[in-house]
Structure 1
Amino acid sequence: MKIRRFKALLFFSVGLCVVSFLHYYKALNQIPMLKELSNSPANLKHLAALSRFLWKEKFTGGHDISKNAAPGVQSQAFLVWRPSGVKSQRPVEDTGMFPQIPPEPSRPMGDLHLRTFQLKEDTTSYFARTKSGRMCFRKGTKTSTKKDNLGESQPKESYASRRALLAVQSGNRSLGPAWNSSVLAKRSVRCRCLQGWHGYHCGIPTVVQHSNLPTKSRLAPREVPRRVINAINVNHELDLLHARFHELADVVDLFLICESNFTAYGARRRLIFFEQLMNGTFDYVRHKILYVFLDHFPEGGKQNGWIADDYLRTFLSKNGLSRVHGARPDDVFIINDADEIPVWEGILFLKLFDGWTEPFGLHLRKSIYGFFWRQLGTLDVLSGCTVGMLFAVYKGNGILLRRREYYSMPDFRSYESNTGHILIPWSIGSPVHEAGWHCSWCFKPEGIYYKLISAQNGDFPRWGDFEEKRKLSYIRELIRTGGWFDGSVSEYPPTDPREHMYAPKYFLDNYDQYEYLLRNLYTEKKDWMVTH
């Protein structure tokens, strides 16, 4: 009897292992080494099926992104978020995938908070054919010799031929065409990459090349770039906003900026960003800004500050996206705090290449009070995904994306199955290749004071409740020493203003204006020069 029970238990265990292996077999095959180990004739059928994980596969439910949509093609109907009280969930048949559901704020901004935004195709010519016949990413390719100069007047290589060439290079047999000897001969031809750029087309930045992306061997350039939507909540981080806009304005198609006339603590506040938006301060990027106004404080936010903190991101993403038209499921959505600034190279990669997985994060260089106090390690923040995943899995709620809880979301497996994508999280950058900056409490003393009294009532201890912590003399001493409000002083690694990722280029280019962020003004005065 004992032997029979042992055999039954053994068979049950083996069966459970087999089922588990089959369930995760597809995910394992995304790693190139494991892919090679399984590359036998008996497994060709499985490998062909696995090729469906590429971004070129069908997005079911009425959307087909197996081919990049041509400019001017309207998006299909999509089920989207509607505010509570709006019961209809019928597909929206308009020029975009989001219905017009404006907020209901009270004055004084006229109709600014009611306006919608039409996403347009990015028609920038990112790739060019060289005189030697290569297709190269313009910003990542050397053009020092006459032989390799990028030919502006050369005919544009067809997307099909580029994909065929990439398929030959990577051994991808799923595309099917028979390549002639002249195409095969180009396998060894590569663009001459500038420092910081990699790959056959010189379009893979270092922050992706040295990331944990498991599908690097399957990356392929797109014919039509994705559009990128960057959503940010703002309080009084105006200098950091300028740095973000100058870093990302050329690659981000739309900035969703949410501002409330309440602080995270629930007190009334001025609309500081709105005032500067209207007086022309941000005119250089205003055509890419959609203003989202939150005119109320969430119920229970006073007692539980995390309710208020979460609600800001929920309102930003749901209400803001409801006023965007023309988005496609494979466009990119990124949500950041105002003090999280990504580098442009990583975001441009997301626009131009297929084959990366989702959701994705960002490894950010950590600083406090200014870029002169660099903290150890990086801040790895889960920051983005495609618009399709945002709505299918997270129901359009940005706070759910930030929480890293997608495996527990009820529609996660359904989305994975419908799209044919293997959802493997990864992060742009690495602990030694930062993909941006996180500058915490990076204000002048008066700005830190304002942040103290505005902080939400949940992240205890709430230092703004202590009168002595709000004194400007005390705050100046914290900046001088790099100390924290609890009296501790951390060990900081040495920094050099000449290092590659010291601070965003906009700050370095305007050193006199932003000296307070680049040099510790409360230590002994030292003469040093910023070079970049």
Structure 2
Amino acid sequence: MNKIHRNYKRLSIWILLFTQILLIMSYFYLKVDNVALKSEKISFVNSPQEEQIKLTYHTSDSRIFLKSINSRTKFIDFNSSLCYTNGTDLVSMKRSKQFNWQCNCLPGWHGKDCGQPEVIWRALLTYRKPLKITGPRTFERRIIYVFSVDKFSETIAEIRINELGSIVDLFILYEDKRSDFLQHKLNNNFAKQYHDKILYLKTNNIDNALHLVKNLRDDDIILNSNGNEIPNKFAINFLKYYNKWPEPIRFRLRWSVYGFFWVHPSKTIITGGACSVSYLRGVFNNRIKLLNDNKTLSNPLYKGIILGDLNHYGGWYCEYCYDIAQILELLATKFHNAINLEKMHQKKIDNAFLEDLIENGLYIDGKTELLRTHRYRDSYFAPYYVMENNWNYDFLLINLYSKIDYYEG
């Protein structure tokens, strides 16, 4: 009896052990199978052929509506005085124990309401005809800035989008219809912070771009400039709040070369343009590119105004502000007319030649002497965004090929 009991007990143990082995094998089989199913599912969802990029910027298929903003948000009321907040010495006015019957302007600001930055005030003073600027308006004018972007102008485009992003309502960025450089950049987060303000187009669609803005107003502003230009943000901002300024507007830009540390001996260049939508329609027949055509704008028929002079600039023109490899690539193109290509090959323009030009302050022709600028003494040395983010743009602020500039910077 005891023997039978022992055999039964032994058999029970073996059955229990066998059952446990089966359970363990079943668990691992089911787990591996489940993982395989999951991996197949994930692979299917993330298939590169099926996945599409979700655009966060506007395209030719978009319907765009610009915001209407009350101008009073940028002004403050002191008794009977309406003062532009950014141009007014609010501290001294608030400390004053007397009634403030007029606005107390900060240095570099002018006008009854302190709304005219230096560059605007000087332009209005030198204008040959009497002007009666009125404002502030009830609602801000919206600014639409149109310019092309390619691999040579990528850095300057990044700077001006960030420099003007808070005051421009829509950037219309375009590129040649045969290129996809800009589109690729936008898809990889170029100027991501401002994608809701960016409309991407090809060159052939520019003249129809404004049709995509469904609430466009006649008094909105169109601004157009070349690839290496950065307009003065304060000059542009003034146009938003005031009426009866002369049209069209052109800009006298500081002419920097290789970086902001050298200036061309001519010092400035007049280029770019801005006007109201009604002016664009009535005078330029909606052709936006005419706003940046010097032959057109220099015609006496277009009696506009130039913003900027030799000491207070309407912005910056940064010529050859690329790395050495890009300058060489640009000079090798058929479309570049700055120097004679035949002579270029005779002179053997290479890395060493360009480094010598940048170090010693010679223009691309190898003859014209450039003027040195002073980073900490010159109030118009570079755009504000560049100065505030100098660690990203040291190659534009410091002459890296000059030991003196490098160590001083």
Distance 1:470 1:220, change over 3 A: same
Instruction: Give the conservation status (yes or no) of the 8 Å contact 2:144–2:171.
Output: yes
Pairing 1:223–2:157 present: no
How far 1:345 moved relative to its partner?
0.7
* Structure 1: unaligned runs, 5 residues or longer: 1-106, 150-185, 263-268, 295-314, 413-422
- Structure 1 residue aligned with 2:85, among 138, 142, 145? 138
Q: Give the secondary-structure state (helix, strand or coil) at the position aligned to 1:318.
A: helix
How far 1:109 moved relative to its partner?
10
Q: 1:486 aligns to what?
A: 365
Write the deviation string for residues 301-321 of structure 1: whole angstroms up to 9, x where unpaired: xxxxxxxxxxxxxx4640322
Which has the higher Rg, Structure 1 or Structure 2? 2
Q: How does 1:92-491 map to 2 (within 5 A)?
A: 112-123=59-70, 125-130=73-78, 132-145=79-92, 147=94, 189-211=101-123, 212-213=126-127, 214-236=129-151, 237-260=153-176, 262=178, 271-294=180-203, 315=204, 317-376=206-265, 377-401=267-291, 402-405=293-296, 424-454=303-333, 456=335, 461-462=340-341, 466=345, 471-491=350-370
Aligned-partner residue type, residue 290 of structure 1: L
Write the deviation string for residues 485-519 of structure 1: whole angstroms up to 9, x where unpaired: 43313142543444111011222222232111111
CA distance in 1, matches of 2:231, 2:69: 20
CA distance in 2, matches of 1:502, 1:406: 27
Q: 1:304 aligns to what?
A: none
Q: Give the secondary-structure state (helix, strand or coil) at the position aligned to 1:117.
A: coil
Instruction: Give the conservation status (yes or no) of the 8 Å contact 2:250–2:273.
Output: yes
Instruction: Give the conservation status (yes or no) of the 8 Å contact 1:366–1:379.
Output: yes
Write the deviation string for residues 367-413 of structure 1: whole angstroms up to 9, x where unpaired: 1111111123321225111111112111122332323536979xx7x
CA distance in 2, matches of 1:424, 1:148: 45
Farther off after superposition, 284-293 or 218-227: 218-227
What value does the CA root-mean-square deviation take over the aligned residues?
3.1
Instruction: Give the conservation status (yes or no) of the 8 Å contact 2:70–2:138.
Output: no
Q: Give the secondary-structure state (helix, strand or coil) at the position aligned to 1:210.
A: helix
CA distance in 2, matches of 1:346, 1:276: 29
CA distance in 2, matches of 1:109, 1:448: 35
- Structure 1 residue aligned with 2:385, among 491, 502, 506? 506
CA distance in 1, matches of 2:386, 2:296: 35
How far 1:455 moved relative to its partner?
5.3
Q: Give the secondary-structure state (helix, strand or coil) at the position aligned to 2:199.
A: strand
Distance 1:498 1:457, change over 3 A: closer
CA distance in 2, matches of 1:114, 1:470: 45
Distance 1:146 1:330, change over 3 A: closer
Farther off after superposition, 464-473 or 430-439: 464-473
CA distance in 2, matches of 1:322, 1:135: 36
The two structures have a TM-score, normalised by structure 2, of 0.76
Aligned-partner residue type, residue 218 of structure 1: I
CA distance in 1, matches of 2:370, 2:309: 22
How far 1:444 moved relative to its partner?
1.0
Structure that is richer in helix per residue: 2
Q: Give the secondary-structure state (helix, strand or coil) at the position aligned to 1:424.
A: coil
Q: Give the secondary-structure state (helix, strand or coil) at the position aligned to 1:230.
A: strand
CA distance in 2, matches of 1:477, 1:407: 37
Distance 1:341 1:247, change over 3 A: same
Aligned-partner residue type, residue 251 of structure 1: I
Write the deviation string for residues 166-216 of structure 1: whole angstroms up to 9, x where unpaired: xxxxxxxxxxxxxxxxxxxx9x93211111111111101111111134444
CA distance in 1, matches of 2:95, 2:176: 52
Aligned-partner residue type, residue 348 of structure 1: N
The two structures have a TM-score, normalised by structure 1, of 0.59
Distance 1:446 1:143, change over 3 A: same
Write the deviation string for residues 399-432 of structure 1: whole angstroms up to 9, x where unpaired: 32323536979xx7xxxxxxxxxx6311112222
* Structure 2: unaligned runs, 5 residues or longer: 1-51
Farther off after superposition, 489-498 or 191-200: 489-498
Distance 1:317 1:482, change over 3 A: farther
Aligned-partner residue type, residue 106 of structure 2: L
Aligned-partner residue type, residue 254 of structure 1: L
How far 1:454 moved relative to its partner?
4.2
CA distance in 1, matches of 2:170, 2:134: 25
Distance 1:461 1:229, change over 3 A: same
Aligned-partner residue type, residue 112 of structure 2: Y
Q: How does 1:509-524 map to 2 (within 5 A)?
A: 509-524=388-403
How far 1:445 moved relative to its partner?
0.8
How far 1:527 moved relative to its partner?
5.7
Equivalent pairs counted in the alignment come to 347
Instruction: Give the conservation status (yes or no) of the 8 Å contact 1:370–1:442.
Output: yes
Q: Give the secondary-structure state (helix, strand or coil) at the position aligned to 1:516.
A: helix
Write the deviation string for residues 107-143 of structure 1: whole angstroms up to 9, x where unpaired: 999894433422221346111212x342111111111
